[in-house]
Chain A
Amino acid sequence: MYHSWWFQLLIILLTVNIVVCSIDRLSTTWKIVFIKKPPFILSKFRNRADNEYHVDSRSSGQLKDIYEPFVSKGFGYIRTEQTDKGYCIFAEKWRWARLGVYGVHLSIVLLLMGALIGSFFGFDGYVNIPEGEVVNSIRIRNPGRAEALDFGILCEDFNVSFYDSGTPKEFRSSLTIIEDGKPVFKKDIVVNDPLRYKGINIFQSSYGPLPPKEATLNFTSRKTGKEYKKKALVGQQIDIPENVGKFVLKDYANSYKFRGQPIGEAFIGILTDNNGSSVEVVLSLRFPNFNRMQKGDMVVSVSEYDQRYYTGLQVTKDPGVWIVYSGFIILIIGCYITFFMSHQRLCIDIEKKGKKCRVMVSGTANKNKLGMQNKIKRISEKLIDLKHST
């Protein structure tokens, strides 16, 4: 579904939607953000209801000289203008924070573009490699087709380890990349630590058992009670000790059903006696004495065998992933700027009233207005404190 044409079309439409809406709004914001001289309208500040006022006995010029360095510490831009009755200090900061939301939108567009590039030019496939074998192509998950690789992947070894409780602890595949018949790159991969080669990523994803190629068999004679051990390759006929007949390991089953009962992993063998009549025997690996139930001169069981595995690898290519990642970074930074940084403007109006001065502290912010109110209060209190310390 996520690779279907209509899903891709929806993503393109969503991208266009975000771009158009953002440009529409950005044209207004752009004019506000990119100006040489920020405008301040004193009357607008004076008319605000949440202004803080205090009275100071020094002259307006003195106060201006005390306040200016204090304000410039907290604000990037500062400008003082003379009014009819004193001075007015304007200051502002984070004007550019108004652009934060466009950063967020840009990041969403990057995510969508990266996703599209990935779905057009990347692939998501898998391959199972038996231990000791090399593959040169993989299966693509969606749609199901084969994809040839420029190199071969050799699985030298696969190991699975377990905790005491029986839950899996680690899956490890030793992989070698083979190009032109020569090994060029080696790496042991585990879950969360993939192999990356030429833009293709190889991940540990599953594993499974393979039919063993050989087993050590145990022959117990019913007559003499003697035990014999013999190695047998699957498909190869061997002589049974004491010259009783021949035996061949025919097959291996992961979950064998004996008379409808599942008995798990089992070898299937054929016992042929010297008269030429043969009988099929099931050598259960879970119940080594299983074969005792069957008649015959020799009881056969499996004493040892080498478990072989295949490793299941996820093989992906996604040229869009770096665009998506850059989108991720911009998204987090953009959200932070959008939510927690606002364009703050401060106005300190020093007005001569008789022999004293009345100081008004006023401010606005495009976001978090409650926070700005508190900030105005704090600034006003600090200005009063400045009076005492100097």
Chain B
Amino acid sequence: MNSSFLLSITTFIYGLAAFLYIAFWVFKKPLPGRLATWTVFLAVICNTIGIIMRWVESYRLGIGHAPLSNLYESLIFFSWTIAVVYLVIEKKYGNRIIGAFTTPLAFLTMAYASMSPNISDQIQPLLPALKSNWLIAHVMACFIGYAAFAIAFGMSCMYLFKQRDTEEKNNLLAHFPNTKILEELNHQMIMFGFLFLTTGIITGAVWANSAWGRYWGWDPKETWSLITWFIYATLLHARMMRGWGGKRIAYLSILGFIAVLFTYFGVNYLPGLHSYGAS
């Protein structure tokens, strides 16, 4: 069994977990909820083993490198971080409905990586520009940040649904965390994501300076990550300085995540130095 096969199986386990969380949310039975937690836990274990196997396989091919070097590998790592961060939140706040809004993201990410015909799951040798110790730090920091923003996006959607239902009539929204907790969690996730996005941009800048002699080159990905950073910085300032909350923050958080997605995928259609992240 090779890593690609295991990771394809992982995709289905994430799918099952997402299904169970949604079933738990809709039918309000405790059993699918408990099963969902174990399933996503199993998926994370398979995902972890898959990543490690891929790492080992690359060494067997004689081109050993951390599995963070192309779009396929980054997507695999992205869904891993989403699932891990989600599990931490579930443990901390004990609300499984959040899982119905976050595990589908992990599933979709994996499905996109495994099924899209444009994405090669071949282990490719490392281009000279990527041969650096900064690779791991840079990619990990960026994707932990992205994952936190993805979860913040899920929370913001939940918040927007919940706040419309002021009389608590809607059965589906009854077991959502209350709006205060959703707001607070959204904020926590954004702060967490912002710290890691900042670290990711900085490690990237330091790396660029050691590879190309400049820490900032207005490459499309750099520019868009800066735009993303500005959107979340605006959100943080609006909340802390202007006392914004509720819907406005939720919308800003969704806007921020759209910028994240564009930084991640959209920029690949523009020419630039990050083109190795495109295939």
Contacts and interface: CB of A to CB of B under 8 A. Distances in A.
A318 B216 CA distance: 12
B131 A191 contact: yes
Interface string A159-176: 000010101111100000
Interface stretch (A32-40, A67-75, A228-236, A335-343): A335-343
Contacts, number: 75
Given A115-B216, A191-B128, A203-B211, A332 B198 contact: yes
A130 to B, nearest CB: 21
A285 interface: no
A205 interface: yes
Nearest to B129: A191
Interface residues of A, number: 35
B49 interface: no
A273 B211 CA distance: 55
A203 B213 contact: yes
Interface residues of B, number: 31
B202 interface: yes
A340 B128 contact: no
B213 A192 contact: no
B125 A192 contact: no
Interface of A: 2, 115, 124, 163, 165, 167-171, 190-194, 201, 203-205, 314-316, 318, 321, 324-325, 328, 331-332, 335-336, 339-340, 368, 370
Contacts of A324: 205, 215
Interface of B: 63, 124-125, 127-129, 131-132, 180-181, 184, 188, 191-192, 194-195, 198-199, 202, 205-207, 209-216, 218
Nearest to A167: B125
Given A170-B128, A190-B128, A192-B131, A339 B194 contact: yes
Contact of A163 (B63, B129, B188, B199): B63
A335 B141 CA distance: 14
Contacts of A203: 211-213
Contacts of A368: 188
B195 A192 contact: no
Given A331-B198, A339-B194, A370-B181, A171 B213 contact: no
A79 to B, nearest CB: 29
Contacts of B210: 192-194
A167 B198 contact: no
A366 to B, nearest CB: 10
B98 to A, nearest CB: 15
Contacts of B211: 191-192, 203
Contacts of B192: 339
Given A328-B202, A370-B181, A370-B184, A336 B128 contact: no
A336 B195 contact: yes
B69 to A, nearest CB: 12
17 contacts: A165-B124, A165-B125, A169-B125, A170-B128, A191-B128, A191-B129, A194-B213, A201-B213, A203-B213, A321-B209, A321-B215, A328-B202, A328-B205, A332-B195, A335-B194, A339-B192, A370-B184
